[in-house]
């Protein structure tokens, strides 16, 4: 075999080349020079898993010198998360085929864990006899760092989004936080209303004070007043001692009145007084208590329609609707799904002590095409379920909840479920959101309108296809 063939493996290992080199002789100096000229790390092993060559890039990536690596077992050198029970080199030699572009983690000499992308193949001598394996690998640390930096540009606190509408909200959140005005957050269940409320609190003048969230829909009228404003001893039969309410607990901080649309008209009147006069009276007390708590209200209802229907006080509506944020549902910002998946995988890796790297292409396609009625919360629960079921390094379709699985047949990667389907779905939904205005849709998608027209023709998208 020539040096060109070896270079070909490193750059085109995904094509399944077999490496043939006379490693039963001393490693040729020419081959060593060729390997050292390659930007990717490359090492070879014999059938006893002992390292027989280790190039300069491998030294740089691992922090281990060639002299220290040669002769040692490969798992002593790389110490990857796959070495113990899922040795890829062993699988390659047994199956006699190349494994391309596999993401794994390894440990450097300084104990730092780094992500790499590797391609492995079989080594044969001139007699076509298998004598070992070869692996090329690339350090993904810089790419991961860049990915994190890009993610920061599309996030605010723990909220992640590339969506144009969400980005507009991100741009004004600091101003909203620094004001003392009441904020109304509207959005479907699971869109992250409490996350936004916390982000406003954390960046406000009240940040050092407490953040108190109250689920208004969970409190019956008989308990609402005492829960919100507290009570004094003797206020009712079981009132054996004073009890502070949620407004008292939130002094110097922020109170979130979640699902405010579910409270009765009678309670709305009492809440209006607190917002207008900044005072309230605990049950059984005649002394008003002053509050400096900032109020944020949230609801999944259309409060304006409730006002028109007579189910919500108009004066209270305009009192809480000083600054209004409307959060789009996840189905209208599907471009955020990959970033959200990465975010949840990172969080669950820390919580569960796992090292899951991501989701397979098929699983991602399925998740992208799903309608997400439960929004971001449903996506988070889906990834958590997958963490319980997944024992490998990638979440696959079979690890997802049952509603994502084919009915009555084995899970097989369908050849038609490819990225073009996801792109077609994303374009169709963007057109629907913009009433099929191509100029607005192109701006939202960040592409030229001529590019959009070509894609509409190529994907055969029409307004009456659904």
CATH code, domain carrying 194: 3.40.50.300
Q: Nearest 5 degrees, angle CA 329-CA 188-CA 148?
A: 45
pLDDT attached to residue 255:
95
Q: Nearest 5 degrees, angle CA 80-CA 85-CA 86?
A: 70
CA distance 423 to 368: 10
User: Are residue 97 and residue 35 in the same domain, yes or no?
Assistant: yes
User: Are residue 319 and residue 336 in the same domain, yes or no?
Assistant: no
Q: Is residue 412 part of a domain?
A: no
Q: Kindly tell me the burial class for residue 331, based on how many C-beta atoms sit within 10 Å of its own C-beta (0-12, 13-18, 19 or more).
A: middle
Q: Is residue 413 part of a domain?
A: no
Q: Indicate the residue among 281, 303, 328 that finishes a domain.
A: 328
Q: Is residue 410 part of a domain?
A: no
SS3 content of the chain, % helix, strand, coil (to 5): 45, 20, 35
User: Are residue 304 and residue 345 in the same domain, yes or no?
Assistant: no
pLDDT attached to residue 414:
44
pLDDT attached to residue 17:
42
Burial 89-115 (b: 16+ CB within 10 A, else e): beebbeeeebbbebebbbbbeeeeeeb
CATH number at residue 339: 1.10.8.60
User: Are residue 215 and residue 361 in the same domain, yes or no?
Assistant: no
Query: How many other CB atoms are there within 10 angstroms of residue 243's CB atom?
Result: 16
User: Helix, strand, or coil here: 392?
Assistant: coil
pLDDT attached to residue 82:
62
User: Are residue 278 and residue 378 in the same domain, yes or no?
Assistant: no
Full DSSP string of 260-320: GGGS-HHHHHHHHHHHHHSEE--BT--S-EE---EEEEEESS-HHHHHHTTSS-HHHHHHH
User: Helix, strand, or coil here: 379?
Assistant: helix
Write the CA distances from 440 to 1, 443, 454, integer angstroms: 57, 5, 16
pLDDT attached to residue 26:
46
CATH number at residue 64: 3.30.450.20
CA atoms within 13 A on the CB side of 444: 23
Q: Is residue 224 part of a domain?
A: yes
CA distance 41 to 36: 9
Handedness of CA 236, 238, 240, 242 (dihedral sign): negative
pLDDT attached to residue 241:
81
User: Are residue 63 and residue 212 in the same domain, yes or no?
Assistant: no
Per-residue pLDDT of the chain (466 residues; tens, 9 = 90+): 333 344 444 444 434 444 444 444 445 566 677 777 777 888 888 888 888 888 888 888 888 888 888 888 888 887 775 665 567 777 777 777 777 767 777 777 777 777 787 788 888 877 888 888 888 888 876 555 544 444 444 446 668 888 888 889 988 999 999 998 999 999 999 999 999 999 999 999 888 999 999 999 888 887 888 888 888 776 676 777 888 889 999 999 999 999 999 998 988 988 998 999 999 888 877 788 899 999 999 999 999 999 999 999 999 999 999 999 999 999 999 889 988 998 899 888 877 878 788 898 888 888 988 889 999 999 999 999 999 999 888 899 999 998 887 654 444 444 444 456 667 777 887 788 788 888 888 877 767 788 888 888 888 887 654 4
Query: How many other CB atoms are there within 10 angstroms of residue 232's CB atom?
Result: 17
- Reported pTM: 0.58
pLDDT attached to residue 295:
95
User: Are residue 355 and residue 317 in the same domain, yes or no?
Assistant: no
User: Are residue 314 and residue 335 in the same domain, yes or no?
Assistant: no
| Number of domains into which the chain is organized | 4
CB-based contact 137:118 (threshold 8 Å): yes
pLDDT in tens, 298-333: 999 999 999 999 999 999 999 999 999 999 999 999
Q: Is residue 137 part of a domain?
A: yes
In DSSP terms, which residues pair with 112 in a beta bridge? Answer: none
Handedness of CA 139, 141, 146, 150 (dihedral sign): positive
Q: Is residue 63 part of a domain?
A: yes
CA distance 416 to 419: 9
pLDDT in tens, 40-53: 888 888 888 888 88
Query: In which domain, by residue range, is 23 found?
Result: 3-144
pLDDT attached to residue 154:
45
CB-based contact 123:130 (threshold 8 Å): yes
Of 120, 82, 116, nearest to 98 (Cα)? 120
In DSSP terms, which residues pair with 132 in a beta bridge? Answer: 46, 123
pLDDT attached to residue 196:
93
CB-based contact 199:159 (threshold 8 Å): yes
Q: Is residue 179 part of a domain?
A: yes
Full DSSP string of 90-110: HHHHHHTS-EEEEEEEEE-TT
User: Are residue 94 and residue 73 in the same domain, yes or no?
Assistant: yes
User: Are residue 262 and residue 274 in the same domain, yes or no?
Assistant: yes
User: Are residue 283 and residue 168 in the same domain, yes or no?
Assistant: yes
User: Are residue 360 and residue 372 in the same domain, yes or no?
Assistant: yes
Torsion of CA 104, 109, 113, 114, to 10 degrees: -60
């Amino acid at each position: 075999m020539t040096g060109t063939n070896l270079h070909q493996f490193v750059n085109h290992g995904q094509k399944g080349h077999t490496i043939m080199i006379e490693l039963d002789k001393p490693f040729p100096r020419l081959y060593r020079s060729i390997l050292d000229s390659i930007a990717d790390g490359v090492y070879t092993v014999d059938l006893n898993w002992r390292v027989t060559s280790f190039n300069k890039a491998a030294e740089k990536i691992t922090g281990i010198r060639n002299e220290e690596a040669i002769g040692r077992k490969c798992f002593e050198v790389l110490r990857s998360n796959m070495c113990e029970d899922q040795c890829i080199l062993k699988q390659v030699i047994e199956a006699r085929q190349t494994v391309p572009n596999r993401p794994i983690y390894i440990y450097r000499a300084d104990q730092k864990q780094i992500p790499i992308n590797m391609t492995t193949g079989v080594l044969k001598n001139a007699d076509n006899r298998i004598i070992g394996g070869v692996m090329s690998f690339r350090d993904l640390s810089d790419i991961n760092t860049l990915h994190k930096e890009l993610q920061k540009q599309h996030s605010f606190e723990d909220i992640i989004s590339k969506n144009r509408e969400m980005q507009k909200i991100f741009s004004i959140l600091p101003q909203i936080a620094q004001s003392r005005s009441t904020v109304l957050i509207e959005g479907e269940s699971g869109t992250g209303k409490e996350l936004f409320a916390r982000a406003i609190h954390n960046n406000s003048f009240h940040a050092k004070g407490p953040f108190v969230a109250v689920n208004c829909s969970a409190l019956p009228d008989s308990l609402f007043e005492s829960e919100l404003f507290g009570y004094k001893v003797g206020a009712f039969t079981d009132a054996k001692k004073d009890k502070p309410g949620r407004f008292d607990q939130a002094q110097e901080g922020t109170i979130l009145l979640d699902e405010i649309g579910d409270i009765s008209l009678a309670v709305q009147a009492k809440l209006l007084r607190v917002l207008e006069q900044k005072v309230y009276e605990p049950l059984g007390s005649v002394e008003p208590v002053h509050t400096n708590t900032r109020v944020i209200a949230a609801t999944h209802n259309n409060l304006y329609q409730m006002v028109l229907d007579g189910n919500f006080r108009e004066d209270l509506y305009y009192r809480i609707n000083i600054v209004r944020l409307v959060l789009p549902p996840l189905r209208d910002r599907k471009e955020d799904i990959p970033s959200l998946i990465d975010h949840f995988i990172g969080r669950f890796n820390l919580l569960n002590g796992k090292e899951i790297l991501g989701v397979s292409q098929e699983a991602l396609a399925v998740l992208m095409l799903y309608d997400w009625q439960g929004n971001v919360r449903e996506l988070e629960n889906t990834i958590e379920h997958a963490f319980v079921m997944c024992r490998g390094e990638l979440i696959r379709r079979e690890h997802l909840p049952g509603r994502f699985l084919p009915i009555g047949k084995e899970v097989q990667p369908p050849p038609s479920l490819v990225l073009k389907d996801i792109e077609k779905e994303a374009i169709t939904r963007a057109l629907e959101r913009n009433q099929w205005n191509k100029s607005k849709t192109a701006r939202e998608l960040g592409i030229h309108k001529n590019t959009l027209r070509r894609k509409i023709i190529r994907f055969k998208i029409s307004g009456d296809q659904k």
